[in-house]
Chains A and B, each alone.
Chain A
Amino acid sequence: MSDIFPKWTNKLPLMAGVVGAVLGVSVLAGITYYFTPKYTRVGYQPKQPVAFSHAIHAGQIGLDCRYCHNGVEKAWFSNIPAAATCMNCHSQVKKDSDKLQLVRDSFASGQSIPWVQIHKTPDYVYFNHSVHVNRGVSCVHCHGEIQKMDEVRHEKPLSMSFCLDCHRDPAAFVRPNELVTKLDWKNEGFDGKKAVHDWKVQPGQSCSTCHR
């Protein structure tokens, strides 16, 4: 009696197992690595209409973040400054620079400069800037070391797990409230646990804390 199945088919289950395992693990690894904001968002660095450098303004000159983003302590969003804010200095400093033409135009016409938004939560996330910066959560946690960036780059994933890392353990992240805009601050003995208790920091972890 001749073989119905040739002899190599004896190894078919083994081969299928190996192939399936390798492919399965590869696909899972690929999804884990790529299907996350750590890949999709981090590194986004759009070209801006005006070559504004945070490294010069916030780093070298040392302007406080709130000089320009002055609404951040009161509003849920951190405002992009109006051209009038730029003109506080640039009506005198580099007042004829070509790089500032759009700023002068915007100041004169009232038309917005078409800045490109970099950090953006989905529309179903209700992130409130004021509640964070008024409870010792620094800009640097979500935006990275802006004071070193010539062009702003999306440094942090801003994924849900990124938010929860802090919401589950705020004591590890809070700092004295007057230092929230001091981006290069290092914790040397600040008692986060005590601050969280004293300031009644209650970062919710239920869905409705952020999603409405």
Chain B
Amino acid sequence: MRKFLAYFLTFWALAVVAVVGVAGLRGSTSRKPPLEFFSDMDHQPKLRPQTTAKFAGFADGMSSRLPVPGTVARGSAFEASEFNTGKKADGSFVDAMPVPVNAALVARGRERFAIYCAPCHGAAGDGNGVTTKFGMAAVAKFHDERIIKMGDGEIYNTIANGKNLMLPYGDKLDPQDRWAVVAYVRALQLSRLGKKEEIPDAVRATLK
């Protein structure tokens, strides 16, 4: 009995060591994809976005398709309106933004500005964002006279389509958000141009 138990426990201990040795511990780093013990329906033939399409009809193998030429997606900004292009019918830039400016728009603009603009242009629009330390050159300063005097539509157009070395941000900011960012850029400029008397009394009292 004792002998048998000794053999058995030795065998058992070896088996445990072997399993842990081969399988490893939870959370150990692995280059191999996750194990699947019962992968029923984990992988369905449907296409998920940004994956490879093993479907002969899609020659480029992309599951996310570009719009068919000449078609317009619902809600997309296709009309050549001032709201969508920042330009008047004659092609010149609009001077004032065609959306009502309120606190909500500026707040939205501030949030989007922090995400998409501040990395280069800086949180205050001084053109000294973090990327300039890494070699981004000639980043526009929003407090330059040139940009202060620029029409709202031209700033909108720069956001949407890029300018000089700056690539377009139209894919990240839809028209409403672009106008929101324009509104926030104007707010940044006003923060240096405004006069003390223009601050509402109640707010001025809280400032040092």
A binds B: yes
Q: How far is the CA of A57 from the CA of B21 in the complex (A)?
A: 37
Task: Report if B116 contacts A (CB, 8 A).
Answer: yes
- Interface range on chain A: under 10, 10 to 19, 20 to 34, or 35 or more? 35 or more
With both beta carbons as reference points, the residue of chain A lying nearest to B46 in the complex is identified as A123
B34 A92 Cβ-Cβ under 8 A = no
Q: Mark A26-47, 1 if CB is under 8 A from B, else 0.
A: 1000100111011111111111
Task: Report if B172 contacts A (CB, 8 A).
Answer: yes
Task: Report if B144 contacts A (CB, 8 A).
Answer: no
From B12, B16, B30, B167, A87 is in contact (CB under 8 Å) with: B167
B116 A67 Cβ-Cβ under 8 A = yes
Task: Report if A207 contacts B (CB, 8 A).
Answer: no
Q: How far is the CA of A108 from the CA of B148 in the complex (A)?
A: 35
Within A92-131, the residues touching B (CB, 8 Å) are 92-94, 111-112, 117, 122-124
Task: Report if A66 contacts B (CB, 8 A).
Answer: yes
Q: How far is the CA of A66 from the CA of B169 in the complex (A)?
A: 13
Task: Report if B124 contacts A (CB, 8 A).
Answer: no
A64 B114 Cβ-Cβ under 8 A = yes
Q: How far is the CA of A67 from the CA of B29 in the complex (A)?
A: 28
* Closest-CB distance, B4 to chain A (whole angstroms): 6
Chain B binding surface SS class: loop
Q: How far is the CA of A159 from the CA of B169 in the complex (A)?
A: 36
A30 B37 Cβ-Cβ under 8 A = no
Task: Report if B49 contacts A (CB, 8 A).
Answer: yes
Of listed A14, A37, A92, residue having the most chain B CB within 10 A: A92
Q: How far is the CA of A45 from the CA of B49 in the complex (A)?
A: 21
- Interface range on chain B: under 10, 10 to 19, 20 to 34, or 35 or more? 35 or more
Q: Mark B10-53, 1 if CB is under 8 A from A, else 0.
A: 00100110010001001111111111110001111010111100
Write out the residue numbers on chain A whose beta carbons fall within 8 Å of the beta carbon of B134: 61, 89, 93-94
With both beta carbons as reference points, the residue of chain A lying nearest to B33 in the complex is identified as A44
Q: Mark B126-144, 1 if CB is under 8 A from A, else 0.
A: 0000110011110000000
* Closest-CB distance, A60 to chain B (whole angstroms): 9
A123 B44 Cβ-Cβ under 8 A = yes
Given A67-B115, A67-B172: 20 more A-B contacts, CB < 8 Å: A8-B1, A15-B1, A15-B5, A22-B12, A39-B23, A39-B35, A40-B35, A42-B26, A42-B27, A45-B29, A62-B130, A77-B49, A77-B50, A89-B119, A89-B120, A92-B136, A94-B135, A112-B50, A122-B41, A124-B41
Residue ranges of A at the interface with B (Cβ–Cβ < 8 Å): 8, 11, 14-15, 18-19, 22-23, 26, 30, 33-35, 37-47, 61-64, 66-67, 70, 75, 77, 79-80, 82, 84-85, 87-89, 91-94, 111-112, 117, 122-124, 153-154, 178
Name 6 A/B residue pairs within 8 A (Cβ), A-sorted: A43-B28, A62-B130, A70-B171, A79-B49, A79-B50, A112-B62
